[in-house]
Amino acid sequence: MVSSLDGFIAKKDRSVSWLRSTDNYEKGITLNEEDVEEFIKTINCYVMGSRTYEHALELGWPYGAVPVIVLTHRELTTDRENVEFYSGDLAKLVNDNLKPIYRNIWLVGGAMIAKDFILLKLADDIIISIMPVILGDGILFFDYIRQEQLLHLKDVVAYKDGMVELWYEIKKE
């Protein structure tokens, strides 16, 4: 999840220019295209809420032919062979349908789905990339999750463009 410093993952008008930073942090690292491609190759399946899916269709489909599960209560249709719609029990989706087939399941978001996965203890890790911006309004990542959850910090990476990536493991106990 990419977030502003004040915890927003999307602006009210859904514009995404804030996701590109012109900041310059001298000690930060730069990712090259090959690193990004290698990382993306490790993802076996994407899961996302219908609002995130519809936004991705508007912005330009970035998921290629990797299987994508879209959560919706509506009767949505698609011509894409790798897109499947799902409604209902999230634990059943993850434990019965996805885990036996896919090793690395990437929960794209948005906030609604991410919160449910954390509350239901269906997520193993949280990777949050904080952009150097305060948005002031929009969709909050953690909108009163109302449940304490201990985390283990696995990694921190600071990038040249001022983005800081925090990688947490969700403690199961």
Ligand X SMILES: NC(=O)c1ccc[n+]([C@@H]2O[C@H](COP(=O)([O-])OP(=O)(O)OC[C@H]3O[C@@H](n4cnc5c(N)ncnc54)[C@H](OP(=O)(O)O)[C@@H]3O)[C@@H](O)[C@H]2O)c1
Positions in the binding site for ligand X (CB under 6 A):
1-2, 9-10, 14, 48-52, 55, 71-74, 87-88, 90, 108-113, 139
CB of residue 26 to ligand X, shortest distance in Å:
26
CB of residue 155 to ligand X, shortest distance in Å:
18
- Burial (CB < 10 A; 0-12, 13-18, 19+), residue 166, is middle
Containing 106, the helix (H) or strand (E) segment is strand 105-109
Burial 18-55 (b: 16+ CB within 10 A, else e): beeeeeeeeeeeeeeeeeeeeeeeebebbbbbbbbbeb
Q: Sign of the C-alpha dihedral, residues 60, 65, 68, 70?
A: positive
CB of residue 96 to ligand X, shortest distance in Å:
14
CB of residue 48 to ligand X, shortest distance in Å:
6
Look-up of token digits 């959560």: 71
Nearer to ligand X, 67 or 107 (CB): 107
> Cα angle vertex 3, ends 33, 139, to 5°?
130
SS3 65: coil
Nearer to ligand X, 90 or 118 (CB): 90
CB of residue 139 to ligand X, shortest distance in Å:
5
Nearer to ligand X, 24 or 87 (CB): 87
**Residue type at 135?**
L
Nearer to ligand X, 113 or 123 (CB): 113
Nearer to ligand X, 55 or 160 (CB): 55
